[in-house]
Amino acid sequence: MEIVLKTVQVEKVYGKGELETQALKPTDLEIEKGVFHAIIGKSGSGKSTLLHILGGLDKPSGGKVYLEGESMFDLKEKELALLRRRRIGFVFQSFNLLSEHTVFENILMPVHLDKKKEDRAYLEKVLRTLDITNKLPYYPDELSGGERQRVAIARALAAKPAILLADEPTGNLDENTGKEVIRLLKQSAKEFGQTVVLVTHDMEIAGNAERVITIINGGVL
């Protein structure tokens, strides 16, 4: 078992005095390579807080996060931004695609920003798996919600991140499209050895994961 990401006593406190909220209690977690993980909890339990810390988007109040052995929050802001771009893939509820660029350009954006050459064979396989090969010349506005989310997943996968983080990725999709998106995320873990961490409040969705991390009132069980 290979550990891709590890937290040691990581916690988050918002506000001061009477307004203080412990959004995340000190947490030790290990995320395994190639495994599809789900973080499940009620609204306000701290799921997004945890995911944002895992992704280096939000600084913890205490503790450490190690991505492939590197202590993320000991890096300088610029180095952390680079590590995020190179090693972490994000999929959000709102697809965050660039509307003035085609689907193809959107998918290759992170790879090209790094002046890297895409792995054609891998990319073609990803596009086939996600069934968006015929959508490449279109603009995001010309796609359905489900198609946009599949493009966002392809973009996240194209850069071959160490970890793919998905925050309620089916939140804006109808039930069937949502199920399809989850199936594809699951498949990417299985087929490409992609490590996935998905946040959801939906038990049925979490049931697809190989490992379920439950969070109640900021505490990971």
| Residues in touch with ligand ATP (CB under 6 A) | 14-15, 21, 23, 41, 43-49, 201
Report in angstroms how near the CB of residue 14 gets to ligand ATP at its nearest: 3
Q: Please identify, using beta-carbon distances, which residue of 59 and 128 lies nearer to ligand ATP.
A: 59
Cβ(100)–Cβ(45) below 8 Å: no
Residue listed under structure tokens 């379920």: 212
**In terms of CB distance, is 111 or 199 closer to ligand ATP?**
199
Closest approach, Cβ 12 to ligand ATP, in A, equals: 8
∠ CA 162-101-178, rounded to 5°:
55
Is the Cβ of residue 14 or residue 122 nearer to ligand ATP in the bound state? 14
Strand order of the β-sheet with 211-216 is: 88-91, 163-167, 196-200, 36-40, 211-216, 219-220
Q: How far is the CB of 15 from ligand ATP (least distance, A)?
A: 5
- Shortest separation between residue 215's beta carbon and ligand ATP, angstroms: 7
Alpha helices in 18-144 (DSSP H): 47-54, 77-87, 103-113, 120-130
Nearer to ligand ATP, 44 or 62 (CB): 44
